[in-house]
């Protein structure tokens, strides 16, 4: 078996620290990997004048998978989000966000196991904004049947592969009759082709309330971009927050795995960051590559270190640094 070609993007803030930790864990599984560093975000802007250089995009396209650290984006002004640009330019149309409880992490529920699938390329993130007259701005929310059916198919195929029983389409079709009406209709059309998986739908505000009151009533949720952005953070909150939640951005020609947290400028460079979310993202990457045994081994090691509770980072109430925690995960493997 030839070595996997993996790109890593250190990113900004705590990015290099958590990416380094995740790479150490992947290497410790023993699978053959050839890592190549590429740059994006502020670090790339400083080095090349471009926050998302063409060479980085090219390398991601040519790799088996990419592990990405968080990249900084200023609100309101400055360059456009690297993440949004990356997803659009590489057509990483599916954002996959599992939320699974980890014993030892205090949270409202202790047995959550659900997945949010978010359409990644359109909706309000199309970037189509303009000033109509001074003081009035319009943002265009684009929904197409092509992208909606594509994300619905991704959800159902993933559900089937992972043995999930039900897919729920989250929408606001009662008010946004045309745009979300089309999204819901597209999901229904695809659902008809997957008789083995249940399908239902839920209005987004009701879904938010139901998720907080009783997340166990959901299995897999599929939704457009903005709703997915918000509700996937909510589901992260159900299992212990941003420090432990992974994600995958998948397209037909590339896949990028990253934590859902940001660059954490307040703790950057101090060796204090919790690398769990990025290591869990590497677990998703290993599964994507077909390395199930290695993925299970890393997942079990994280769970045993956290439930043991002796070596935990500060955000989880411990006093260990990034390196010490990573050593513990590797030792548990």
As annotated, the active-site residues are 125, 172, 205, 229, 233
Minimum CB separation of residue 244 from ligand NAI in Å reads: 8
Contact status: 263 vs ligand NAI (CB under 6 A): yes
Contact status: 87 vs ligand NAI (CB under 6 A): no
Contact status: 71 vs ligand NAI (CB under 6 A): yes
- Which of 70, 228, 240, 321 touches ligand NAI by CB under 6 A? 70
- Tokens representing 48 are 């090349």
Cα within 13 Å of Cα(167), Cβ side: 30
The whole-angstrom separation of Cα 327 and Cα 162 is: 30
The mark string for 217-256 relative to ligand NAI (x by CB under 6 A, - otherwise) is: -------------------------xx-------------
Contact status: 274 vs ligand NAI (CB under 6 A): yes
# of chain residues touching ligand NAI (CB under 6 A): 21
**Which residue has tokens 């037909």?**
252
Q: Which residues of 15-35 are buried (b: 16+ CB within 10 A; e: fewer)?
A: bbbbbbbbbbbbebbebebee
Contact status: 264 vs ligand NAI (CB under 6 A): yes
Largest CA distance in the chain: 61
Contact status: 180 vs ligand NAI (CB under 6 A): no
**Is the CB of 199 or the CB of 227 nearer to ligand NAI?**
227
Minimum CB separation of residue 149 from ligand NAI in Å reads: 27
SS3 295: helix
Q: Comparing C-alpha atoms, which of 92, 183, 95, 180 is closest to residue 146?
A: 183
- Which of 66, 182, 315, 320 touches ligand NAI by CB under 6 A? 315
**Is the CB of 208 or the CB of 242 nearer to ligand NAI?**
242
Minimum CB separation of residue 69 from ligand NAI in Å reads: 7
The whole-angstrom separation of Cα 245 and Cα 281 is: 8
SS3 208: helix
Contact status: 94 vs ligand NAI (CB under 6 A): no
Q: Comparing C-alpha atoms, which of 300, 240, 257, 291 is closest to residue 107?
A: 240
What are the backbone angles phi and psi of residue 14, rounded to the nearest 5°? -75, -5
Residue in the shown chain whose Cβ atom is closest to ligand NAI: 262
Contact status: 38 vs ligand NAI (CB under 6 A): no
The whole-angstrom separation of Cα 316 and Cα 310 is: 11
Stretch that binds ligand NAI, among 64-72, 152-160, 187-195, 213-221 (CB under 6 A): 64-72
Task: Write the burial class of residue 157 (CB in 10 Å: 0-12 exposed, 13-18 middle, 19+ buried).
Answer: middle
Contact status: 196 vs ligand NAI (CB under 6 A): no
Q: Which residues bind ligand NAI (CB under 6 A)?
A: 14, 18, 70-73, 83, 242-243, 258, 261-267, 273-274, 277, 315
């Amino acid at each position: 078996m030839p070595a996997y070609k993996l790109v890593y993007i250190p990113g900004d803030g705590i990015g290099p620290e958590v990416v380094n930790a995740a790479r150490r864990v992947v290497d410790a599984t023993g699978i053959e990997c050839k890592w190549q560093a590429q740059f994006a975000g502020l670090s790339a802007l400083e080095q090349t004048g471009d926050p998302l250089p063409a060479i980085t995009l090219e390398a991601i396209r040519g790799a088996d998978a990419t592990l990405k650290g968080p990249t900084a984006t200023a609100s309101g002004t400055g360059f456009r989000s690297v993440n949004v640009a990356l997803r659009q330019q590489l057509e990483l149309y599916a954002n996959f966000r599992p939320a699974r409880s980890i014993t030892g992490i205090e949270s409202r529920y202790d047995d959550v196991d659900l997945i949010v699938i978010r359409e990644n390329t359109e909706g309000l993130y199309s970037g189509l904004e303009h000033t109509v007259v001074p003081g009035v701005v319009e943002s265009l929310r684009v929904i197409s049947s092509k992208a909606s059916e594509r994300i619905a198919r991704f959800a159902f195929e993933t559900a089937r592969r992972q043995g999930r029983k039900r897919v729920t389409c989250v929408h606001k079709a009662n008010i946004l009759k045309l745009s979300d009406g089309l999204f819901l209709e597209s999901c229904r059309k695809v659902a008809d082709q997957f008789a083995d998986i249940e399908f239902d739908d839920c209005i987004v505000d009701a879904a938010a309330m139901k998720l907080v009151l009783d997340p166990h009533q959901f299995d897999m949720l599929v939704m457009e971009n903005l709703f997915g952005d918000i509700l996937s953070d909510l589901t992260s909150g159900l299992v212990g927050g941003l420090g432990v939640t992974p994600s995958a951005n998948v397209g037909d020609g590339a896949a990028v795995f990253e934590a859902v947290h940001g660059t954490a400028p307040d703790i950057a460079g101090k060796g204090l960051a919790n690398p769990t979310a990025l290591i869990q993202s590497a677990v998703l990457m290993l599964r994507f590559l077909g390395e199930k045994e290695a993925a299970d081994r890393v997942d079990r090691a994280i769970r045993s270190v956290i439930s043991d509770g002796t070596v935990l980072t500060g955000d989880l109430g411990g006093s260990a640094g990034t390196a010490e925690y990573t050593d513990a995960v590797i030792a548990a493997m």
